[in-house]
Amino acid sequence: MISIVILLIVFVLIAVRQVGNIRLQIWQIMLGGAIAALLSLQISPLDALQSINIDVMLFLFGVFTIGQAMEESGYLANLSYRLFNRARNLDTLVLFILFGIGIFSAILMNDTLAIIGTGVVLS
pLDDT of 64: 87
pLDDT of 67: 83
pLDDT of 54: 95
pLDDT of 68: 86
Number of other CB atoms surrounding residue 82 within 10 Å: 9
Contact by Cβ (8 Å): 112, 100 = no
Q: How would you write the pLDDT of the chain (123 residues) with one tens digit per residue?
A: 999 999 999 999 999 887 788 888 999 999 999 999 999 999 999 999 999 999 999 998 998 898 889 888 988 888 888 878 888 888 988 888 888 888 888 887 777 788 877 777 776
pLDDT of 81: 85
pLDDT of 122: 73
pLDDT of 58: 94
Note the Cα 112 to chain centre separation in Å.
10
Contact by Cβ (8 Å): 115, 65 = no
